[in-house]
Amino acid sequence: MAEYHRIEYNWVKGVESLEEYQPGGYHPVIVGDVLQDRYHIVDKLGFGGYSTVWLARDTRLQRYVAVKINTANSPRREAKILKALSAPLSRSSPIHTGRSLISVFLDEFKVRGPNGEHTCYTMAPAQCNLREISFSRLFPLEVGRALSYGLAQAVAYTHSQGYVHGDIHLSNILIKLPSSFDDLSIKQLYEKYGEPEAIPVTRCDGEALPPNAPTKAFLPLFLGKYAEEFSLSDAHVLLSDFGEAFCPATETRLGRDCHTPPAFRAPEAKFESQNLLGYPSDIWGLATAIWEIIGMKAIFSTDFVHEDEVVSQHVDVLGPMPSEWWQNWEGRSRFFDEYGFPTESHRENRWPTLEESFEVGVQKWRRRAGKGIEENEKAAFLDLMRQMLSFRPEERPTAEALLTSVWMVKWALPDFRRSLKYPL
């Protein structure tokens, strides 16, 4: 087994880490493979630290599915949670609007390969994630509002079922595909979206590939369109990737165990690392996601920076943190003096306040696109952001409560309802 750890592969941009094709890691897959005598692999949709995701044709039901193939050593929790969230309702159970905005679990199976046994499951495929389609692009305002309300509904439904998502950011928020997508044959799919992009996998030492690695690396297929091209008919959101989800009633998740990227991570994960995480941590992540959906620039840095730098941005944008956190913040002296004033070096790189961030990251770009956000909507939006980004988790609104906020009810909900008039 040690030999596999020493194998290095020539880097391929835009694909998973090829060194993780080793015992316990990814399962080698190439386009054309058939899993379970049923799922014909058509192209790659994406990858993460614990899985690769493939577009496949279900030859039994004549439809497309997304097949998620987990690493052999991955935590085996997501399928269980997705099954619980999409379980059939009893006749007396009320139907939550957010239920239809969660990735639906379809099938589960296992495959055995050179790297071990891998749990796999299928879901309805989606166009793409919001990170891909909104990068350096701006959604039309009515679309941004509809997406924001739909995402909040999805989080509210998740919480109503007793689960914390645990990893809310744009990469885990998808856009649904139209039902007509299933009507495409594989040939028609390739004619419309292009053939799979494959790059040969080679070792750095020039030796032959072991059976642990695939012969080709596939670049993810882009099925969507860019943000500025969206209309309300496209604003059908899906909350996905429940690999970090947990049930607070039955499972302990400490702040130190939080794996959400720093730009979207609630501050209690750092300053109350020995305490339990809960639903409020999702509200913080939801706020950062909504900010990005409505604007062009994230409210906190999405660059790879030290977590203390992100904390300094929290203070810059939101104001003083709780005094006990401030006193226990070991990295504070890099950014602020004992009185809370920024150090000389930090003064030059200081993050703008919430209102200034709105002007720089949202309003300026909206005006360039044609029309800025009006003052009464701006006030309601910033009020909601202040509540959701409260430092103390207990002061943040619940997901259900934020759906009744002024901005959600007066501006986001009407556009969300309009989007529902366009069936998939």
Q: At what angle do helices 279-294 and 141-160 cross, to 10 degrees?
A: 170
- Chain centre distance of CA 367: 28
Residue 94, Cβ density class (10 Å: 0-12 exposed, 13-18 middle, ≥19 buried): exposed
Could you tell me which residues are annotated as the binding site?
A: 68
Could you tell me which residues are annotated as the binding site for ATP?
A: 68
Structure token pair of residue 73? 């050593």
